[in-house]
Amino acid sequence: MDKDSLKFLYSRFRDYKLHIILAIVGSIIEASSLAGLTYIVKEVIDKVFIDKDFEKLKLILIVIFTLAILKQIGFILKEYVFPYALYRVLKGLREEIFNKIVEGKYSAIQSRQFGDIISRASNDVEALRHSIILVGVDFITQLFTAVAMVSVLVYRDYRLFLIFLVAAPIFALSFNYFGEKRKKYTQRVQESFGEYTQIVNQTLSGLETIKLFSKENIIFLFNRINENFFKNQRKNALYDVLYLSSLEIASYIGIAGIILYGGISIVEGRITTGDLFSFLSALLILVNSLQIIQRGIMQIKVLSPVIHRIQSILNIEAEKQEGKPFSCLREKIVFKDVSLLIRDKVILKDIDIEIRKGEKIGIVGHTGSGKSSFLKLVYGLYQDEYRGSIKIDGIELRDLNLNSYREKVGVVSQDVFMFNDTVRNNLLIANPKADEEKIVKAILAAKADFVFQLPQGLDTVIGERGGVLSGGERQRVAFARLYLKDPEIVILDEGTSALDTTTEEEVMREFYKYFKDRTVLIVAHRASTLRECNRIITFENGRVSGEEKWV
Ligand SMILES: Nc1ncnc2c1ncn2[C@@H]1O[C@H](COP(=O)(O)OP(=O)(O)OP(=O)(O)O)[C@@H](O)[C@H]1O
Ligand SMILES: [Mg+2]
């Protein structure tokens, strides 16, 4: 494991030192009790079975009972206390990842594959849990157990123990060879799993498109991923079996040698039967411990890549939270020599625009000319990505407190996002305090009264991406949301694109009336939508190519 990952783990578990100490104490108690139990096997065999000493039997039973209880206490300590700490750590980690998604820089999140982020937030966090449990609970316990067992073995008969050690090189060889293979395929299985979730995810989000175009391509791609997934799992299982069975064969060879040599020693009177059985029971436990220790070592090796994948999400730069609070637009927004660069791609350049309070500005231009990007700049999605200056009442946009600014900006765009929740809750996100009267008023102004006809009215759940509603219905719900938010700066980015001309006219008439004295920016393809604008700005290839005064 590299230093970086160690630092990460240390910083996460720093507050749980007591838990870790308790878990280690638990492991030590468990390992010592186990050693006691294997030690006492000699007494059971020599005194009770062979000498038939009944008094000893009672005493031995009491000792065994006490050791068993101790072992359970140790077991509970380590199996509950450490996982408790771990689950607290993971809870915090999930929270941080989620906050990064919500509060990370828009351009940084946008540039990533969503499937990749989802896989890091779910699979990798789960892989981390799995590895840390294996290392933190099983590996540590077995280390103590191995030490305890080796002590019993050496104490019983060091010569017998030396025979076991002869098997060790075979043990080490198989560990290296099959262990490496196994690790490789474990990793491949994880990658396959990622590919698999990604393609299911992508297919679901593009279902309409996929149904209309040839399904063969995506099915072909899926089958290839699925086949690969299967192959990797099969190989993984194969090397798992080879690895474990080679370990077992190695230990059988050792045990066979011990029985042979031990048998001779008993016959010649050097050791008792009890000695040999005590030795063998400790040996079986040691073999099991060594297997788990190997597994633990392998898990330690996979921890680093998993931690790095999680860190790359945690390292996404957060949006700036501080800055001057914004309460309302008093005078104007001035763009001076502004260009927008996203990952070295110039999206907008030489933008000089002045937007006065209360103005209604129409924006037109060919597709891809930069209209939406310009609006995104206005509503503060890009703070560090622009050059030049954008002054809002004299304050640079990047010095503003974004949250307070965004509270005063409202947007309806072509693609309206809805939560998988009731219509009411989808409206309330705009203004959680709005009462029923306000909600109804907003719905009526948005010409969205169809929502009252839904099966459960406002309490009807609309599916993810607005499932139950048509595109035009969703846009009207978005207008209702806009009225509830009642923003200072109002932006429509083809927000009426899904409406028929009559409905659009009704919606826009209400819109202009409602936002009469607000600052409004509208991107639209139909001239009728822009009817009441004071001027029209035309975009072309990321630049302003013309301006026309209307009113
Ligand atoms: N985050 C981004 N990363 C890379 N390129 C981007 C990004 N956002 C926009 N672009 C590119 O910038 C250009 C302008 O896009 P924009 O969405 O602003 O156009 P538009 O005028 O709104 O087009 P439309 O009328 O089709 O909506 C396009 O070429 C687009 O591919
Ligand atoms: Mg656009």
pLDDT of 465 > 60? The answer is no
Query: Is there a single domain that holds both residue 340 and residue 309?
Result: no
CA of 273 to the centre of ligand 2 (A): 86
pLDDT of 550 > 70? The answer is no
Return the higher-pLDDT residue of 273 and 301.
Answer: 273
pLDDT of 466 > 60? The answer is no
Q: What is the pLDDT of residue 54?
A: 87
Domain annotation covers residue 299: yes
CB 133 within 8 A of CB 84: no
Q: Report the CATH number at residue 297.
A: 1.20.1560.10
Ligand 1 pocket test, pick from 113, 114, 341, 372 with the greatest ligand atom count within 8 Å of Cβ, gives 372
Q: Whose CA is nearest to atom 12 of ligand 1?
A: 347
Show which of 314, 348, 381 is a domain's final residue. Answer: 314
313 C-beta neighbours (distance < 10 Å), count: 21
The residue type at 162: L
Query: Is there a single domain that holds both residue 125 and residue 245?
Result: yes
Ligand 1 pocket test, pick from 371, 412, 492 with the greatest ligand atom count within 8 Å of Cβ, gives 371
Query: Is there a single domain that holds both residue 302 and residue 407?
Result: no
Query: Is there a single domain that holds both residue 300 and residue 339?
Result: no
Dig out the tokens for 455 from the structure.
């099966």
Q: Whose CA is nearest to atom 20 of ligand 1?
A: 368
pLDDT digits (tens, 9 = 90+) for 313-355: 899 888 888 899 999 999 999 999 999 998 889 999 999 999 9
Q: What is the pLDDT of residue 167?
A: 67
Confidence category of residue 299, pLDDT binned at 50, 70, 90: confident
Q: Whose CA is nearest to atom 25 of ligand 1?
A: 367
The structural domain count of the chain equals 2
Q: Output the CA angle 177-294-243, nearest 5 degrees.
A: 40
Query: Is there a single domain that holds both residue 191 and residue 301?
Result: yes
Query: Is there a single domain that holds both residue 300 and residue 336?
Result: no
Query: Is there a single domain that holds both residue 254 and residue 110?
Result: yes
Confidence category of residue 463, pLDDT binned at 50, 70, 90: confident
pLDDT of 69 > 90? The answer is yes
For residue 86, what are the domain limits? 3-314
Domain annotation covers residue 372: yes
Q: Report the CATH number at residue 436.
A: 3.40.50.300
Q: Which atom of ligand 1 is nearest to the CA of 365?
A: 21
Domain annotation covers residue 323: no
pLDDT exceeding 90 applies to what percent of the chain? 62
Q: Which atom of ligand 1 is nearest to the CA of 375?
A: 18
Query: Is there a single domain that holds both residue 265 and residue 126?
Result: yes
The C-alpha atoms of residue 444 and residue 272 are separated, in whole angstroms, by 95
**Ligand 1 neighbours (beta carbon < 6 A):** 110, 342, 345, 347, 365, 367-373
What's the chain's average pLDDT?
90
Domain annotation covers residue 320: no
DSSP state at residue 317? P
Ligand nearest to the CA of 371: 1
In this structure, the strands spanning 519-523 and 360-365 are parallel
Q: What is the pLDDT of residue 424?
A: 94
Domain annotation covers residue 326: no
CA of 372 to the centre of ligand 2 (A): 4
Confidence category of residue 509, pLDDT binned at 50, 70, 90: very high
Q: How large is the average pLDDT for residues 167-178? A: 74
Domain annotation covers residue 365: yes
Domain annotation covers residue 362: yes
Query: Is there a single domain that holds both residue 310 and residue 397?
Result: no
CB 2 within 8 A of CB 64: no
Query: Is there a single domain that holds both residue 228 and residue 376?
Result: no
Query: Is there a single domain that holds both residue 451 and residue 504?
Result: yes
Mean pLDDT is lowest, of 32-36, 206-210, 272-276, 497-501, for 206-210
Q: Output the CA angle 82-88-93, nearest 5 degrees.
A: 125
Show which of 270, 287, 314 is a domain's final residue. Answer: 314
Q: How large is the average pLDDT for residues 212-228? A: 88
29 C-beta neighbours (distance < 10 Å), count: 19
Domain annotation covers residue 17: yes
In this structure, the strands spanning 395-396 and 360-365 are unpaired
Q: What is the pLDDT of residue 218?
A: 86
Residue whose entry in the numeric block shows the structure tokens 């030049």:
388
Residues 6+ away with beta carbon under 8 Å from 45: 272, 273, 274, 277, 278
pLDDT of 29 > 90? The answer is yes
Ligand 1 pocket test, pick from 107, 338, 369, 521 with the greatest ligand atom count within 8 Å of Cβ, gives 369
Q: Whose CA is nearest to atom 17 of ligand 1?
A: 372
Of 452, 494, 455, residue with least CA distance to 475: 494
Query: Is there a single domain that holds both residue 369 and residue 258?
Result: no
